[in-house]
Structure 1
Amino acid sequence: MQTPEAKNRYLPLGTNFTDTHPLLIDTEAAAEDIQSAAHQRIRAAADLLETFSCLTFEQADLKDISHITNALYLLVQDGC
């Protein structure tokens, strides 16, 4: 069981699909480090969107589109 201090210090990411929270943000980390991690995820999503925009639906398999949108969702949600 977590102590009240640990519950206040660690903020779960919004992309957890279960009742447990395996991925957490340390709210006591330096603001620059948190912002850098968020920026890295948003930049990766933007880069993936740029690549995705160059494809046509004839070039992509339907399962690939699903995989790409899922990755984009996780990156953007975590970055936000």
Structure 2
Amino acid sequence: MLVVLNELGYLMNKHFTNKQQLVNALETTFGDIGSRQNLFTYVDRYSDAPGPADLEELKRHKQRLLDAISKASQQSFANNT
């Protein structure tokens, strides 16, 4: 999921001005996630060299996330009208 969020540009957005803020938010939600450096090294490495099965998995996760965002946006719009 982190790789998908990174590819879609959500890891560094208006809510996180630096990587440490993101790591702090992840740790608050999920507990110990390891070092910041290892986290971003993994995300970068996985983004650069996934295999065919990994690419399919990323594609599925990306579409599920985009669908969820679209649905949430539509619900928000419907609630505000």
Q: Do the two structures share a fold, i.e. TM-score over 0.5?
A: no
Greater fraction strand? 1
Greater fraction helix? 2
- State TM-score, norm by structure 1: 0.35
- State TM-score, norm by structure 2: 0.35
